[in-house]
Amino acid sequence: MHFRGDGSGRYAVQLDHVSKRYLLDPARPWRLKDIVTKPASMLGQLTAKEPFWALRDISLTIEHGEIVGIIGPNGSGKSSLLRILAGISPPSDGTVTIDGRYGALLDLGAGFHPHATGRQNAYVNALFMGLSKAEANEKMPEIIEFSGLGQFIDQPMRTYSNGMYLRLGFSVAIHVQPDILLVDEVLAVGDADFQERCFEHFETLKKRNATIIIVTHNVDTLVDFADRTILLEKGEIKLDGKPGAVVSEYLEILRRSSPAMERAFQRAIAGRVAERPSGNGFDETAPVSSRRSDL
């Protein structure tokens, strides 16, 4: 049994030896003239695509109600993993078992149409996020109210500012209350108020014993919020445990990976040392961890 839907299984999410392989196009696509100039190599190019393993042999289980962060350097396979969990992209190998109604917050306002009004888009988006027609109709007033868009809700979305767009997308997202929520980096956008409301929403979900899986570069989020953090590197699970320890390891990887990171790290440390003794009460130096998350 791969999917239960009723939340009765022991685990919310179970991955068993999951791998993901992408086939890369050849560096130079073949053209019609190749048939004449180099027929042999053209045939080869048509068939041979370069395999790239975004994820290798990932096995993990996540329990109901767990809040799990996934971090890793760029290209470590975080997004591939989330896409597999969301059912958007199939694993090349292995099995995925998901137990419960899930909602994916991979993008706020996925598929919003610029020429449709906010109201039309919110309704369509709510259906695609998993609400039934009746639920969507029932929650529309709340969604509109929460977005704070007022009279603009009946304007085409091309006229919206970035903030209005995100507020509507977020308002729909929080009114879809899934058992398993997948979140991809959306916390990085939006102002402080927006992020605060995101966390309030997560707290409510947490109280309802929802499982939350967050992919982020923002290590502070994980330390504050997650029960557990998984560090991915080059498509494999490098470390899986308490957020604090995993985040340290992640920062260490970043530091080793590039001279620029190392310099930024040194600057951050030097900045702290230089500013601290002044003791003017304005400690503008953010903690090292959040600094580097901005980089």
Determine, following the binding rule CB under 8 A, whether residue 112 of this chain makes contact with other proteins: yes
Q: Are strands 236-241 and 228-233 parallel, antiparallel or unpaired?
A: antiparallel
Report, in Å, the least distance between residue 147 CB and other proteins: 18
Query: What is the spatial order of strands in the sheet that 50-63 belongs to?
Result: 50-63, 11-24, 93-98
- Choose, by CB under 8 A, the member of 131, 164, 223, 231 that binds other proteins: 131
- Choose, by CB under 8 A, the member of 7, 53, 73, 116 that binds other proteins: 116
User: Two tokens at 62?
Assistant: 């996540």
- Choose, by CB under 8 A, the member of 42, 60, 127, 286 that binds other proteins: 127
Q: Residues binding other proteins: what is the number (CB under 8 A)?
A: 44
Determine, following the binding rule CB under 8 A, whether residue 111 of this chain makes contact with other proteins: yes
User: Two tokens at 289?
Assistant: 């961890």
Closer residue to other proteins in complex, CB, 157/246? 157
Q: From CA 232, how far away is CA 208, in angstroms rounded?
A: 28
Report, in Å, the least distance between residue 22 CB and other proteins: 7
Of 63-71, 117-125, 142-150, 210-218: span binding other proteins (CB under 8 A): 117-125
**β-bridge mates for residue 241, sequence order:** 229
Under rule CB under 8 A, which residues in 138-197 are in contact with other proteins?
A: 156
Report, in Å, the least distance between residue 215 CB and other proteins: 13
Under rule CB under 8 A, which residues in 4-43 are in contact with other proteins?
A: 5, 17, 22
Amino acid at 6: D
Report, in Å, the least distance between residue 286 CB and other proteins: 31
Q: From CA 275, how far away is CA 13, in angstroms rounded?
A: 46
Determine, following the binding rule CB under 8 A, whether residue 110 of this chain makes contact with other proteins: yes
Measured over all CA atoms, what is the biggest interatomic distance in the chain, rounded to whole angstroms?
76
CB 260 within 8 A of CB 98: no
Reported in sequence order, the residue ranges of the chain that DSSP labels E, i.e. its strands, are: 11-24, 50-63, 67-71, 93-98, 102-105, 180-184, 211-215, 228-233, 236-241
Closer residue to other proteins in complex, CB, 107/283? 107
Closer residue to other proteins in complex, CB, 60/96? 96
Q: From CA 200, how far away is CA 264, in angstroms rounded?
A: 32
CB 196 within 8 A of CB 37: no
Determine, following the binding rule CB under 8 A, whether residue 133 of this chain makes contact with other proteins: yes
Q: From CA 217, how far away is CA 236, in angstroms rounded?
A: 17
Under rule CB under 8 A, which residues in 70-99 are in contact with other proteins?
A: 83, 86-98
- Where does this chain bind other proteins (CB under 8 A)? 2-3, 5, 17, 22, 83, 86-98, 101-102, 104, 106-107, 110-113, 115-116, 120-121, 123-124, 127-133, 135-136, 156
